[in-house]
Structures are given as C-alpha cells and as structure tokens.
Amino acid sequence: MRLLPLLLCSALLAGCASKPNNDPSGTWINQAAIDAARESGRLREALLAYGPNLEWHIAPDRQEASYSNGFELAEGKLQSAGEGRWQVTFYGDYKEQLGVQSGELVQIASDYWPEQHFTRVDSSGEPRPLGSSFEQALYRDYLGGDWLIEEGLGQGGLVRFNSDGQVQGLPGAERFALCLAGDCAAMSGEHDSLWLQAGDQGSPWLFVHEGNQLRIFEAHNRAQFDEMPEYQPGPQRWLLKRR
C-alpha cells in the first residue's frame, strides 16, 4: 500500500527537478549547421544554409538573451510574449521572437533572419564565453579524431585537432581556428579557411574537407597591397587522412 504514495512522491520530485518543456534558459547551439558541415565537409556552405546565428545564451531570471554569429555578439532584453514565446529587444529597437518546440529553441523567422533551430547543451559549471560552446562542438564533430599526414611536412605523423583550439602533430602549428564569419570569410570567398598559429605568429590557410581527407593549401593573396586581401588556393601543403 505504500508503493503508490512513494511513486507519486518520486514523480513529483522528478517534475520539480527537471526544467519545464518550454523553459528557454541555458545555452543553445546551432547543431544543424554542425551536422551539415560534418556530412558535406563544406563548412561555409553549411553555415550559410543553417545560420547565420550559431549560439544563444538565455537567462530569463535576469531578463537577458544574447547570441553569437561567429563574428559579432549581440545582447538583448528578454520578455515573455505569451503562449510559450519570448521577445528579445536589441539595441536599435530591433526584435527577435523565440520559442521552445519539441525540445529545441526556435528563432522565429523575421525581417532579419530565417527560422533557425538550436539544441540545448550542458551549461553547468563555469560560465563559458558566448560562442565557445558552438565552436567546441564544431571542432569536435568536424575535425575530431586522429589524422595521418599522408603528404607534406611531417609525413607519416599523426595530427589531432582538439576542441579547445589546440592542434598537435602538425608541423609549425600549436593552435588553430576555423573561419566562421566576418572578415576572414570575406577574404576567403567561397573557400573554407582556418588560422594556424605557433607562439604569437600565425597565418591563414585554405582547406578542402572531403570525406576522411583534409587538404590544406597555402593562401595566396591576389589583391593589391591597399585592398582587402583576397585569398585563393596556392600549393597544397598537407594531405591528411582521418584514421
């Protein structure tokens, strides 16, 4: 006879401990863009198709909401709009509408952006900079694992791109960053690009990600000295193959 009260008590406690289905709080990332990049290998195309926004931080208790598009950060005031929706008002009085549907955060289509869907990630522990959760998930899913240098300096060695931006085993590089948006995207045009750095010295490179192969090319600037750089693929420096 005590079983039913205990089950009811457990259900009530579980309900209190979990977040309501329409709770927007926490960190949300554009997992659809990551999945598309992983499947196709074409990072810029995936970001253009499923972007432009890549991550949201939402704090209803402070009436705050902010997003990153990989280049810019925007902070706004969050207010309930009724019927499970929220309105975010940004500087300049432009507004965005958000909702939670089937466990996803949905950014409602507006005059500024198309409809976008975001997946909640674990935001417990130390607060992370806005955009870093998306970046780490992208690095893990898109470039994760061990890569064998099939051609180029260090041939036969293993390379690992870590989710924190460190790279191991690639000669002359200690850190890397994928180009997501902004000036680096404008300068590389239709080509995917990344930044490789050792110490305080770094430079842009272009790459082609096809299946389990990653080709990294020198970035040749075709612009005049007084113009914004315009990078085109130069000689291939490395051919990496995922093991």
Q: What is the mean pLDDT of residues 177-181?
A: 98
Q: What is the pLDDT of residue 158?
A: 99
Cβ pair 24, 60 in contact under 8 A: yes
pLDDT band, residue 82 (cuts 50/70/90): confident
Ordered by start, the domain boundaries in the chain are 21-122, 144-242
HEC string of 184-202 equals HHHHHCCCEEEEEEECCEE
Whose structure tokens read 């008590």? 9
* % of the chain with per-residue pLDDT over 70: 92
Q: Which two tokens stand for residue 217?
A: 């090319």
Q: What is the pLDDT of residue 12?
A: 43
Q: Which residues, 6+ apart, have CB-to-CB distance to 22 below 8 Å?
A: 84, 99, 100
Q: Which two tokens stand for residue 86?
A: 């929220």
Q: Which residues, 6+ apart, have CB-to-CB distance to 12 below 8 Å?
A: none
Q: Give the C-alpha separation, 50 to 81, whole Å.
A: 25
Q: What is the mean pLDDT of the chain?
A: 92
Cβ pair 237, 216 in contact under 8 A: yes
Q: What is the pLDDT of residue 87?
A: 96
Q: How many CB atoms lie within 10 A of CB 151?
A: 12
As a 3-state breakdown, the chain gives helix, strand, coil percent values, each rounded to 5, of 20, 40, 35
pLDDT in tens, 83-100: 889 999 999 888 999 999
pLDDT band, residue 20 (cuts 50/70/90): low
pLDDT tops 70 at residue 228:
yes
Classify domain 21-122 by CATH architecture: Beta Barrel (2.40)
- Higher confidence at residue 205 or residue 6? 205
Q: Please tell me whether residue 148 adopts helix, strand or coil conformation.
A: strand
Q: What is the pLDDT of residue 238?
A: 99
Cβ pair 41, 127 in contact under 8 A: no
pLDDT tops 70 at residue 102:
yes
pLDDT in tens, 43-58: 999 999 999 999 999 9
Q: Give the C-alpha separation, 234 to 223, whole Å.
A: 14
Largest CA distance in the chain: 84
Q: Give the C-alpha separation, 100 to 72, whole Å.
A: 24
Q: Give the C-alpha separation, 186 to 200, whole Å.
A: 23
Residue of 20, 21, 18 lying closest to 10 (CA atoms): 18
